[in-house]
Structure formats: C-alpha cells, structure tokens
C-alpha cells in the first residue's frame, strides 16, 4: 500500500513510525511533515488546510489510504471530499467531526443521551453570559464553542476572570466565530485520562489509556499547552472504572452518533476526568492525541494499518488490539516561551547520537536548514522510552532528553510522576 499521513507534528511522526512497521505498507508520504518525518517518509509541502491540493496530490500519487492527524481538515470535511472522489481515507466525516468542532453540539448530544459530563449553560448573548457568570459558583470553566487551537478553555476562579474571558471570546472575538457561542461549565476535580479508541461506526477497539500533561510548568501549573508529555498505561485507572468508561461513555457515544445519522468512523479520543461520582467527559477530539500518540503507538503490538482497514470495512469486532507489557513515557522538549511567544531557527544538537535501546525520537516543530535540524515551532521534539515499568521508562526518557540541546530548550521534569503515586 501507499499511505499518506496528513500533518506535521510529533503525532504524525509517531503515526509514520508505526505505519512503517506494517507488512502491508510499501511507501509512506506525509504532507507537510517535518525534518524528522522526512527521514521516514516522502514529505510533500502542502498545508493541512489546503484540502484541494491534498486531494490532487493523493489522486495523482494513487494513494491507497490517507490518515489524517489534525482536527482542522477533519472539521473542514476532508473525509467527505476524499470519499466523494473515490479515495480511501481514515477519519470521521464532517458531520461526525462536530464532536470536536462544536462543544455545544457535544454537550447537547451528551445531555440527550445521558452520558456523564459537567453541568453547563450555553450562551449566544454576551449580557446573558455575564449575568450568569456574575452569580455562578466559582470556579467555572468557560469554553468557546468552536476550534480555538487548544486555547478556547479558561478556568476562572474569580468572577473578574470570567468577565475577562467572556469579553475576549464574545466581544473581542479573539477566536473569531468560534467564540460567538460559549459554554459555562461546572468545574470538576479528579485525575484526567485520555481514552483513544478506533471505531468503525459501531464497534470500538481501545488503545492503551494515557495521561497527558497539559500545563506548561511542573506540578500542573501555568498556562495550558498542546501537551508537554504523556505516559501509558495509567496505573490509577482500575479495571472497573475502565469498564464504566467503555459502557457508560464511549460505546453510548458511538451509538448516539449512529442514531443521529452521524456514524463515527475514525479515532474517538475522550478527554475524561475521574470524579468522585465516576468518570465524566471533559471533551471529545475527533483524532489521535498529541503527545498521547507518541506513547500509545510505541506500546502497541498490533498493526495499526490492519486496524484501520478493519474499521473501514466495518469488521472491527474481529480485531483484537494488543499492547506490549511494560510502560512508555514521552517527554516534550519545547521552545522557551511556549505557549506564548518564542523564537525559532535554533540549531538542535544531540540528534546525531545513537538512541538508547527502546527509545524513540519524534519530531514536531523542526526543519532542515543546510542539512542541519533547527527549531521551527513551539513543541519541538518528543522523546519516548519503553521499559518494564513506568519508573524506568521515565528515567530512560529523561536520559535522552538530557542529551538534546538547543538555545532556550524547555521541558517539564515531572512527566509521569502522577502515575507513580
Ligand atoms: P479541553 O481543551 O476541553 O480538554 O480543556 C483543557 C483542559 O481544561 C482540560 O484538560 C482540563 O484540565 C481543563 N478542563 C476542561 N473542562 C474542565 C472542567 N469542567 N472542570 C475542570 N477542568 C476542566
Ligand atoms: N493532547 C491534547 C490533544 O491532542 O488535544
């Protein structure tokens, strides 16, 4: 098979790495890719939101399958476009991708089908939202309805913070039309877990449960980021809770989507919180997670391409996803200043050294300049290590992290610590 991966992050590098290990695959392409991906796949410099050029490229190269990394092209309807042109592609349709594309859509779907999530109110009127926030019990969580590049969620501990968030989203439209409607949600406490499953529209196959580290600083302090590291599996998630997640949340969501004529085929990624009242949905994503994918795929034994083909033909119930024993930990190295302002173009040192056993290096914001790797984004690399147990995996990942340097490199020192408690 000839396979095209769309995207340019660590997630896509991990997808390329895993797909390359499939006996079904002959050649891998990536659009647009990055410096690290260009060593493993043929990169074609097409932006992920240029659907027409992607279609033209996949048609011309006669791709047997396209796998989509980021949410934007999915929400923009790339799957519908490719399928209507006779091309095989893996991901949800535009209507199904609304699970990530609209938080209002998702909250209303969850409410209609009694799937556990935080209590909420929805506002399209700025004055009404302010009036509600003025008397709401703090903290509250304010969310822009549409896609906001991971920045559309604000946790407010004081009414003044809530007023500011509403002003920015609804009046100043810092996220454009995505902030025209907002949700004000109950603040939930508990351990967070990312559950990713592959679905054929009816059946689900579960990948290893993972935990992301969204905040920039150690101890989950500071601003939200795309994710600063992850590990899998999650020791605190017991079998009974996992079963509840499957039967009370994941399977009912897939069923609800089918019932509402939005059959969901693709990766369903639930951001969940384990509250005292049981697991609840914080959000859905319609794709693989980043950096979760960088720890979930190196832990897998099964062939991802086989799983995707089973999902495309509605035969997932016959597919058994297997993981290795042990654990994986992935540490993101970012540009200093991320997720706010940062500079790029810094030469990266230490990449040429041979990696330790069971260690993988996934590139995010990197590019090649005169044959040298330089930084080209906020998140630059993910170092993933596998070991017999989580503690060793963490130690091993940090050993390699310590050998890679660039001007202003920053990483969290506590990735995986919550899994050891
Ligand atoms: P999201 O982009 O929706 O995943 O939200 C980003 C982060 O905000 C989540 O990973 C949580 O840490 C936090 N968050 C979102 N909704 C809530 C909530 N209702 N209660 C507590 N924390 C939340
Ligand atoms: N790890 C967060 C995300 O992929 O959205």
pLDDT digits over 154-167, tens only? 999 999 999 999 99
Please tell me the distance from the alpha carbon of residue 294 to that of residue 288, in angstroms, as a whole number: 10
pLDDT at 250: 98
Residue 149 has pLDDT above 90, yes or no: no
Calculate mean pLDDT across residues 128-155. Answer: 93
Q: How far is CA 179 from the centre of its chain?
A: 21
Percent of the chain with pLDDT over 90: 97
Which residue, judged by its Cα, is nearest atom 5 of ligand 2?
289
Place of tokens 């994941």: 250
**Taking the domains of the chain in order of start, what are their residue ranges?**
2-91, 125-180, 191-318, 327-420
Environment class of residue 13 by beta-carbon count within 10 Å: exposed (0-12), middle (13-18) or buried (19+)?
A: buried
Domains 125-180 and 327-420 share a fold: no
Tokens of 330: 């992935």
Closest ligand 2 atom to Cα of 290: 4
Please tell me the distance from the alpha carbon of residue 304 to that of residue 328, in angstroms, as a whole number: 17
Residue 272 has pLDDT above 90, yes or no: yes
Give residue 150's pLDDT band: very low, low, confident or very high (50, 70, 90). confident
Please tell me the distance from the alpha carbon of residue 171 to that of residue 174, in angstroms, as a whole number: 8
pLDDT at 106: 98
Q: How far is the CA of 289 from the centre of ligand 2 (A)?
A: 4
Residue 243 CB contacts under 8 Å (≥ 6 apart), including other chains: none
Range 191-318: architecture per CATH: 2-Layer Sandwich (3.30)
The predicted-structure confidence for 359-393, as pLDDT tens digits, reads as follows: 999 999 999 999 999 999 999 999 999 999 999 99
pLDDT at 354: 80
Residue 421 has pLDDT above 90, yes or no: no
| Class for the domain spanning 2-91 | alpha beta
Q: How far is the CA of 96 from the centre of ligand 1 (A)?
A: 22
Half-sphere exposure at residue 46, Cβ-oriented, CA atoms within 13 angstroms: 20
Which residue, judged by its Cα, is nearest atom 4 of ligand 2?
289
Please tell me the distance from the alpha carbon of residue 299 to that of residue 316, in angstroms, as a whole number: 20
Calculate mean pLDDT across residues 67-95. Answer: 98
pLDDT at 3: 98
Q: Cβ of 37: how many Cβ atoms within 10 Å? A: 30
Mean pLDDT of the chain: 97
The predicted-structure confidence for 249-269, as pLDDT tens digits, reads as follows: 999 999 999 999 999 999 999
Regarding the beta carbon of 69 and ligand 2, being less than 6 Å apart is answered no
CATH 3.30.1490.20 corresponds to the domain 125-180: yes
Q: Three-state SS for 143?
A: strand
| Class for the domain spanning 327-420 | alpha beta
Residue 178 has pLDDT above 90, yes or no: yes
How wide is the angle at C-alpha 265 spanned by C-alphas 48 and 184, nearest 5°?
A: 75
pLDDT at 151: 83
pLDDT at 177: 92
Please tell me the distance from the alpha carbon of residue 373 to that of residue 201, in angstroms, as a whole number: 41
pLDDT at 412: 98
Longest distance between any two alpha carbons in the chain, whole Å? 60
The predicted-structure confidence for 12-53, as pLDDT tens digits, reads as follows: 999 999 999 999 999 999 999 999 999 999 999 999 999 999
pLDDT greater at residue 181 or residue 354: 181
The predicted-structure confidence for 280-317, as pLDDT tens digits, reads as follows: 999 999 999 999 999 999 999 999 999 999 999 999 99
Mutate which of 10, 100, 194, 331 for ligand 2? The one with the most ligand atoms within 8 Å of its CB, which is 194
Residue 59 has pLDDT above 90, yes or no: yes
- Residue 65 and residue 305 in contact, taking contact as beta carbons nearer than 8 Å: yes
Mutate which of 116, 283, 292 for ligand 1? The one with the most ligand atoms within 8 Å of its CB, which is 283
Nearest ligand for residue 150 CA: 1
């Amino acid at each position: 098979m000839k396979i095209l991966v769309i995207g340019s992050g660590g997630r896509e590098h991990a997808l390329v790495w895993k797909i390359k290990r499939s006996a079904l695959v002959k050649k891998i392409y990536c659009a647009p890719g990055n410096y690290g991906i260009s060593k493993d796949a043929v990169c074609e410099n097409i932006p992920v939101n240029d659907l027409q050029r992607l279609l033209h490229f996949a048609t011309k190269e006669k791709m047997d399958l396209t796998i989509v990394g980021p949410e934007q092209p999915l929400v923009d309807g790339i799957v519908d476009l490719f399928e209507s042109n006779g091309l095989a592609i893996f991901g949800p349709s535009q209507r199904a991708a609304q699970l990530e594309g609209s938080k209002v859509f998702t909250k209303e779907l969850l409410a209609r089908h009694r799937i556990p999530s935080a209590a909420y109110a929805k506002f399209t009127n700025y004055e009404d939202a302010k009036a509600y926030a003025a008397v709401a019990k703090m903290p509250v969580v304010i969310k822009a309805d549409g896609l906001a590049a991971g920045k559309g969620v604000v946790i407010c501990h004081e009414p003044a913070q809530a007023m500011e968030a509403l002003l920015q989203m609804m009046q100043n439209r810092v996220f454009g039309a995505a902030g025209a409607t907002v949700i004000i949600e109950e603040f939930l406490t508990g351990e967070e877990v990312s559950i990713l499953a592959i679905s054929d529209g009816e059946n689900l196959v579960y990948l290893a449960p993972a935990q992301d580290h969204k905040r920039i600083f150690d101890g989950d302090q500071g601003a939200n980021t795309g994710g600063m590291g992850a590990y899998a599996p999650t020791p605190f998630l017991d079998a009974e809770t996992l079963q509840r997640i499957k039967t009370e949340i994941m399977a009912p969501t897939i069923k609800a989507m089918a019932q509402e004529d939005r059959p969901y085929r693709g990766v369903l990624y639930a951001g969940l919180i384990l509250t005292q009242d049981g697991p609840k949905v914080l959000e859905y994503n319609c794709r693989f997670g980043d950096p979760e994918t960088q720890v979930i795929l190196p832990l897998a034994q099964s062939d991802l391409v086989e799983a995707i083909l089973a999902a495309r033909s509605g035969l997932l119930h016959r597919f058994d996803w297997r993981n290795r024993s042990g654990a994986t930990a992935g540490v993101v190295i970012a540009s200093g200043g991320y997720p706010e302002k940062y500079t790029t173009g810094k030469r990266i040192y230490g990449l040429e050294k041979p990696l330790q056993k069971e260690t993988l290096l996934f590139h995010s914001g990197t590019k090649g300049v005169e044959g040298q790797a330089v930084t080209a984004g906020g998140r630059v690399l993910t170092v993933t290590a596998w070991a017999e147990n989580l503690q060793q995996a963490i130690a091993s990942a940090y050993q390699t992290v310590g050998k890679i340097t660039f001007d202003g490199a920053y990483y969290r020192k506590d990735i995986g610590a919550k899994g050891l408690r």
